[in-house]
Amino acid sequence: MSVPYLNVVLKCPKLSGKKSVLELAFCRYIFCANKVNKHISFKGNLQSSLVEYARSTKKLVRNMMDDQQSSLDYLSNQVNELMNRVLLLNAEVLRKHLDPLPYKTVQSHGLDCTDIKDTIGSVSKTPSGLYIIHPEGSNYAFEVLCDMDFQGGGWTVLQKRTDGIITFQRTWSEYLDGFGDLSGEFWIGLRKIFYIVNQKATTFSLYVDLESENDKHAYASYDAFWIEDEACSFKIHLGRYSGNAGDAFRGYRKEDNQNSMPFSTFDVDNDGCRPICIIKEQPVKSCSNFSDNTGWWFNQCGLANLNGIHRYTGRFLATGIHWDTWTVNNKPVKIKSVSMKIRRNYDPYFH
């Protein structure tokens, strides 16, 4: 608070003739009074300026401290993320060093993993591993991972997530042709999936195997699975559901239903958000962008994305790997690993 003062300037009266002692004393008093008044005025202005300066300095220091704390928090998060990546890379290097070739490719040109098992499985036990297949309709052969152990074998693995080493933040072209390592994490590719499931006189079932961060397991099974061709953006079609993870593909509402939806990536958007979707009270123009540029059969984002970010730690769980119908205490389970695999149906009509 500034000190109030009286801003008054006194003047010595003009007197003619010889000044008396009283008059001189009066003028001297006026001179001193003016001097004191100026001093008080200066002191008041100075105190006011000092108070304002102190306020500004305090605000500046507070802002600087807030900025420093934000920077420290950001750097801490970056360091933690880098440490996690280093640990994952070390684990991958160790795994490859101890087992440089966990699967050796078997030179077998079956139509798919079920066909291979049915063809050579009667002669000897068919091991799980990498096989070369050449589906009907495809103009080239390619490698796949065959699971010959689970529920009698014959499963062609379409997708696998385990450790986050392989990024699934990919373009349409990459999701088209596939990416990753068949002995680790991978996406087989939309074209290859199309060739496998659209062979003549056969149908396929889909099995989704989920594992939570606390090592619990759940599954979703569909008795029919196929996708349309590239001209239709590989629309997905699913049969009847069974399992204990819930039918996240269809969800709870019409808006959640991803069945019959085309595939979407951040550079080819088919997700049904026209012009936007509201996700967690947030406007979203692209579900792929919202899911950190991962690709999936989105419908206004929906309740499933098995290609999401591995062990996502951000604000929205829906941007990581998620299957939101698998819940504990009404909350979606955090997923650590997942695989998608298909097998021929043994339909008497086709055999």
Tell me the per-residue pLDDT of 212-235, one tens digit each, with 9 for 90 and over.
999 999 999 999 999 999 999 999
Distances in Å between the alpha carbon of 63 and those of 53, 56, 67, 71, 74?
Answer: 15, 11, 6, 12, 17
CA 329 to chain centre: 23
- Examine the pLDDT at 189 and tell me if it is beyond 50: yes
- The H or E element that residue 222 is part of is strand 217-222
Phi, psi of 239 (to 5 degrees): -90, -150
3-class secondary-structure state, position 168 = coil
pLDDT of residue 349: 43
Alpha carbons 298 and 310: distance in angstroms, whole number: 18
- Examine the pLDDT at 340 and tell me if it is beyond 60: yes
Q: DSSP character for 294?
A: B
Residue 290's Cβ-count burial label (10 Å; 0-12, 13-18, 19+) is buried
Q: DSSP character for 265?
A: B
Give me the long-range contacts of 291-294 (CB less than 8 A, separation at least 24).
291/318, 291/319, 292/169, 292/319, 293/169, 293/170, 293/265, 293/266, 294/168, 294/169, 294/170, 294/265
Lowest mean pLDDT among 50-54, 252-256, 345-349: 345-349
pLDDT of residue 130: 95
Mean pLDDT calculated for residue range 249-254? 93
Q: What percent of the chain has pLDDT over 70?
A: 73
Which is more confident, 343 or 310? 343
Q: Do residues 189 and 178 make contact, with C-beta atoms less than 8 angstroms apart?
A: yes
Residue 77's Cβ-count burial label (10 Å; 0-12, 13-18, 19+) is exposed
Mean pLDDT calculated for residue range 173-192? 97
For the stretch 252-306, pLDDT in tens is: 988 889 999 999 999 999 887 877 877 777 788 888 888 889 999 999 888 999 9
For the stretch 57-96, pLDDT in tens is: 777 778 888 778 877 777 776 776 676 566 566 555 555 5
Secondary structure of the chain: what % helix, strand, coil (to 5)? Answer: 35, 25, 45
pLDDT of residue 25: 62
Cis peptide before 100 (omega within 30 of 0): no
Distances in Å between the alpha carbon of 315 and those of 228, 312, 322?
Answer: 34, 9, 14
Q: What percent of the chain has pLDDT over 90?
A: 52
The mean pLDDT value of the chain amounts to: 82
pLDDT of residue 139: 93
For the stretch 6-49, pLDDT in tens is: 444 445 555 455 556 666 666 665 666 566 566 566 556 667 77
For residue 298, which amino acid is it?
A: F
For the stretch 115-132, pLDDT in tens is: 999 988 665 688 999 999
pLDDT of residue 98: 46
In the block, residue with structure tokens 């204990």: 244
Which is more confident, 290 or 321? 321
- Predicted confidence band of residue 4 (pLDDT cuts 50, 70, 90): very low
Which is more confident, 50 or 110? 110
- Predicted confidence band of residue 345 (pLDDT cuts 50, 70, 90): very high
Count the alpha carbons within 13 Å of 88 in the hemisphere toward its beta carbon.
Answer: 16
Alpha carbons 276 and 150: distance in angstroms, whole number: 42
pLDDT of residue 348: 44
Q: Which residues contact 16 (CB under 8 A, 6 or more apart)?
A: none
